[in-house]
């Protein structure tokens, strides 16, 4: 008899739904998480822990990546992240990076599932249609909204996604007065501002507390449990079932293949560095895109000499980040009335506004009808240390003394600071991929991931298109010093792809159910499956697809166990 029915590697948005669903269905689940186990009692609004030190992520001297970026001369330069400081870890703890997300939960749209057939090929990009359609994922978006808890308000919109439920199960979180200003500004420009759906409970529900509106959300762990992390929303309930076991500080070294090429066991290092072994009927990998590809690549064996599911060299290819850009603008208090300034200084509620008017762009300047993206409007993160650290640079170099203090005082007390983030497709290319570094090893002696992070020039055109129009919104609102930044640098917190799903084993790693081609008892349930990424943040889609995968695994194992059916029917 196997130790467990299902072994899930990784406890974030990809692993949580699988653990929850399988435990609810009556199966014995083990979750292996490489990081520690924090709970609400460990989360504080502490900028030093959140954003100045490696607490939720490993020290780069112990665990690094090697990043390859274009050197400008047609070649690539490689540098360990321990030297550059460019961190590709995103929350290595129970619940993963979903603990620290902002929780912008926008759905993909039907055309995102058929990008190639809708918009055609783009030279130099490996754009393909998904093997499933929006209709197959929609029920799972709906499930996430209800089970994880998504707050929002469905409004009619030129690019509104089809919904099986007419509205969100939870009303929008409290909104900042500036949301009304922004709405008026957008409507003046014939745009359609949308309340941003958030994976945040506005009030107690689902056995969790509601949002405390402390003003610190993205990058911070949630002290109330209102944020729909995989830990708070799913794993805590899976554990309560008594059928799910979670082992933190468990770094999986490799998946071990048997003589038939199926997975026979998992080897992992425990907290004390001792190698352990465990087996299960089905194995699910959900380590986030870079680390999932790395684990499959290093799990070599006689039947898998190039790594698991890598017979055709597809593992690690077509890695995705999120393209787009960002921008900012200031609202100086001396430009507004006292009443308006009072509104601007409100602290705590969310701005929560999205524009999707440019989700499809039909403009000759971009060559006709092309896929566009989404724009989020938000306040600058409140973190005063990091903001001051950026302000220390003046036009002529470093500032200190009274000039620095005057600049700090004026910045923090003289204006409100807005920003926008544009999300558009990061086109899959041969120049964005994961491999194993031939030399650099982590603290367990395992080869680290080498990330080649090339981008397609088309991404910048779309990003600049969105940024230009978003700047106009801020200017119409009354912002000054409006600026934007678009580049091909990969946002390391928005990872997907690398194990794309598809019907052809020669061009994909996973089948349409996200089972590895040729390995019946191996699934991947994080964002690695995505052949194209769409133009919204990934977490909502990762959650939804992981629930879809989980249902398939339940079916593989024989369906919901009779005892659980009895429980459910009373």
Q: Which stretch binds other proteins (CB under 8 A): 214-222, 249-257, 447-455, 552-560?
A: 214-222
Site for other proteins, residues 374 to 413, rule: CB under 8 A: 382, 384-385, 388-389, 392-393, 397-398, 400-402, 404-406, 408-409, 412-413
What is the phi-psi region of residue 367: left when phi exceeds 0, alpha when psi lies from -120 to 50, beta otherwise? Answer: left
Angle made by CA atoms 231, 234, 237, in degrees to the nearest 5? 105
Query: Counting contacts by CB under 8 A, is residue 52 touching other proteins?
Result: yes
**Nearest distance in Å: CB 271, other proteins:** 15
**Nearest to other proteins of 345, 441 (CB atom):** 345
| Phi, then psi, of 264 in degrees rounded to 5 | -105, -25
Which parts of 312-351 interact with other proteins (CB under 8 A)? 347
Q: Which of 112, 182, 115, 483 is nearest to 325 (CA)?
A: 483
Does position 46 interact with other proteins (CB under 8 A)? The reply is yes
Among the residue ranges 21-29, 51-59, 316-324, 554-562, the one whose residues contact other proteins (CB under 8 A): 51-59
**Residue 400 CB, nearest approach to other proteins (Å):** 4
Q: How far is the CB of 443 from other proteins (least distance, A)?
A: 15
CB of 553 to other proteins, least distance (A): 34
Nearer to other proteins, 60 or 427 (CB): 60
Distance from chain centroid for Cα 456: 20
Comparison of 42 and 363: residue with beta carbon closer to other proteins? 42
Nearer to other proteins, 93 or 434 (CB): 93
φ/ψ (deg, to 5) at 373: -175, -165
Site track 505-544 with other proteins (rule: CB under 8 A), x = hit: ----------------------------------------
Q: Does residue 258 touch other proteins according to CB under 8 A?
A: no
Per CB under 8 A, does 135 bind other proteins? no
* Nearest-angstrom CA–CA distance, 295 and 312: 17
Min dist CB 1 to other proteins, Å, is 38
Q: What's the min distance (Å) between Cβ of 48 and other proteins?
A: 5
Please give the full DSSP string across 234-295, using - where no structure is assigned: IIHHHHHTTSEEEESS-EEEEEEE-TTSSEEEEEEE-TTS-EEEE-EEEEEE-S-HHHHHHH
In the region spanning residues 218 to 247, those forming contacts with other proteins, defined by CB under 8 A, are 220, 223
Contact 419, 380 (CB under 8 A): yes
Q: Is the dihedral of CA 285, 286, 287, 289 positive or negative?
A: positive
Which of 39, 49, 129, 174 is the binder for other proteins (CB under 8 A)?
A: 49
- Give me the phi and psi of 273, to 5 degrees please: 85, 10
Nearest distance from residue 36's CB to other proteins, in Å? 8
Using DSSP's 3-state secondary structure scheme, residue 547 falls into helix
Q: Does 47 bind other proteins (CB under 8 A)?
A: yes
Instruction: Single out the residue of 39, 118, 214, 276 in contact with other proteins (rule: CB under 8 A).
Output: 214
Helices (H) and strands (E) in the chain, counts: 15, 24
Which SS3 state, helix, strand or coil, does residue 496 take?
A: strand
DSSP per residue, 270-286: -TTS-EEEE-EEEEEE-
C-alpha dist (Å) from residue 125 to 249, 317, 451, 462, 491: 38, 12, 18, 15, 19
Q: Which is nearer to other proteins, 91 or 502 (CB)?
A: 91
Query: How many residues line the site for other proteins (CB under 8 A)?
Result: 38
Q: Is 189 left (phi over 0), alpha (psi -120 to 50) or beta?
A: alpha
367 vs 384, which CB is nearer to other proteins? 384
Q: Return the number of the residue (252 or 331) whose C-beta is nearest other proteins.
A: 331
Opening angle at CA 126, ends 316 and 317, nearest 5: 5
> Please, which residue, 205 or 388, has the CB nearer to other proteins?
388
Q: Residue 321: how many CB atoms within 10 A of its CB? A: 24
Which of the residues 184 through 213 are near other proteins (CB under 8 A)? 212
Task: Characterise 498 by phi-psi region: left (phi > 0), alpha (psi -120 to 50), beta (else).
Answer: left
- Residues lying near other proteins in the complex (CB under 8 A): 38, 42, 44-49, 52-53, 55, 61, 212, 214-216, 220, 223, 347, 382, 384-385, 388-389, 392-393, 397-398, 400-402, 404-406, 408-409, 412-413
């Amino acid at each position: 008899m196997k130790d467990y029915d299902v072994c899930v590697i990784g406890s974030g948005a990809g692993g949580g739904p699988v653990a929850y669903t399988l435990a609810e269905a009556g199966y014995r689940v083990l979750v292996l998480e490489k990081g520690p186990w924090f709970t609400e009692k460990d989360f504080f609004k502490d900028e030093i822990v959140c954003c100045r030190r490696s607490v939720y992520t490993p020290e780069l001297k112990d665990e690094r990546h090697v990043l390859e970026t274009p050197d400008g001369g047609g070649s690539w330069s490689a540098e360990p992240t321990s030297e550059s400081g460019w961190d590709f870890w995103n929350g290595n703890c129970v619940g993963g990076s979903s603990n620290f997300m902002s929780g912008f939960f926008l759905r993909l749209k039907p055309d995102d599932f058929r990008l190639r057939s809708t918009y055609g090929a783009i030279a130099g990009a490996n754009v393909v249609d998904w093997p499933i359609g929006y209709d197959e994922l929609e029920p799972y978006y709906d499930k996430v909204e209800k089970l994880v808890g998504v707050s929002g308000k469905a409004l009619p919109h030129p690019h509104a996604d089809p919904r099986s439920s007419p509205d969100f199960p939870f009303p929008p979180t409290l909104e900042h007065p500036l949301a009304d200003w922004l709405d008026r500004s957008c409507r003046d420009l014939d745009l359609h501002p949308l309340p941003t759906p958030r994976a945040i409970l506005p009030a107690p529900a689902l056995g969790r507390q509601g949002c405390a509106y402390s003003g610190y959300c993205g990058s911070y762990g949630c002290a109330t449990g209102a944020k729909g992390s995989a830990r708070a929303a799913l794993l805590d309930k899976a554990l309560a079932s008594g059928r799910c076991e979670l082992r933190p500080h468990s770094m999986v070294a490799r998946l071990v293949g048997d003589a038939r090429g199926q997975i026979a066991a998992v080897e992992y290092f425990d907290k004390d560095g001792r190698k352990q072994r465990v087996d299960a009927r089905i194995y699910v990998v959900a380590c986030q895109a870079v680390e999932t590809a790395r684990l499959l690549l290093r799990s070599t064996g006689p039947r898998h000499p190039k790594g698991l599911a890598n017979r055709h060299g597809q593992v690690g290819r077509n890695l995705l980040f999120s393209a787009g850009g960002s921008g900012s603008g200031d609202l100086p208090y001396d430009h507004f009335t006292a009443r308006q300034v009072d509104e601007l200084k409100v602290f705590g509620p969310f701005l929560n506004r999205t524009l999707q008017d440019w989700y499809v762009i039909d403009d000759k300047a971009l060559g006709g009808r092309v896929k566009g993206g989404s724009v989020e409007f938000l306040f600058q993160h409140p973190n005063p240390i990091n903001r001051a650290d950026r302000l220390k640079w003046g036009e002529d170099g470093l500032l200190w003394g009274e000039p620095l203090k005057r600049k700090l005082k004026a910045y923090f007390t003289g204006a409100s600071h807005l920003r926008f983030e544009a999300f558009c497709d990061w086109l899959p290319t041969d120049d964005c991929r994961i491999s194993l570094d031939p030399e650099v090893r982590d603290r367990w002696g395992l080869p680290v991931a080498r990330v080649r992070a090339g981008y397609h020039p088309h991404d910048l055109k779309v990003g600049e298109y969105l940024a230009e129009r978003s700047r106009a919104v801020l200017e119409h609102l009354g912002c000054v010093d409006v600026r934007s930044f678009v580049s091909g640098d990969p946002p390391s917190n928005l990872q997907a792809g690398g194990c794309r799903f598809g019907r052809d084993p020669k061009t994909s790693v996973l089948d349409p159910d996200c089972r590895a081609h040729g390995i019946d008892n191996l699934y991947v349930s994080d964002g690695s499956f995505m052949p194209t990424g769409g133009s919204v943040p990934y977490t909502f889609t990762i959650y939804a697809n992981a629930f879809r995968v989980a249902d398939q695994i339940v079916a593989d194992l024989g369906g919901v166990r009779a005892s659980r059916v009895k429980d459910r029917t009373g």
